Amino acid sequence: AEAVEHYQATTKRVYDKVEAFPKPTIAQIDGFCVGGGVALAICCDIRLCGESSQFAIPAARLGLGYGFAGINRLAQLVGPSFTKEIFFTARRFDAREAEVMGLVNRIHADAAVADAAEALARQIADNAPLTIAAVKFVTGETQKDQSARDMARCDAMVTACFDSADYI
């Protein structure tokens, strides 16, 4: 019980920090993305994978419990029906299935995933940084309960965009 508690607390800290990181994050998925790999990937803003990538959360086969935060992240991304299918079946899904579910944004040739991730990062970096930061923050707020949203910060970040040299 102590080891499980320590593991869950540690992974929660990591996943929360990745999800809350103020800069855009890209998961570059090469090959298998299973269990904790999926949990980490869904904390990222964008997920790219290779054609032969495969995804699974085998918790039901292993008797593992998944808490609210992990299931909620997945359900926010792929919806409740696909979340249940992923967990209930514990089977592997190929890249095309993952794309249909919304688990990945784009599929690339296996040899091109790293280049695609770098090109995407450069494309994002070439855009207005205040706009990128505002969109990331506001999108995150849409995933919270209405009472927990920081609408003042959302408004301030949008205003900062219009007051910036990038806009002017």
Q: Checking DSSP bridges between strand 54-56 and strand 93-94, what pairing results, if any?
A: antiparallel
CB-CB contact of 92 with 57 (8 Å): no
Separation between Cα atoms, residue 101 and residue 89, nearest integer Å: 15
Global confidence as pTM: 0.92
> Is pLDDT of 76 > 90?
yes
How do residues 118-151 score in pLDDT, each as one tens digit? Answer: 999 999 999 999 999 999 999 999 999 999 999 9
- Cβ-in-10-Å burial (0-12, 13-18, 19+) of 33 comes to buried
Query: According to the model, what pLDDT value does residue 16 have?
Result: 94
Give yes or no for a contact between 110 and 134, defined as CB atoms under 8 angstroms apart: no
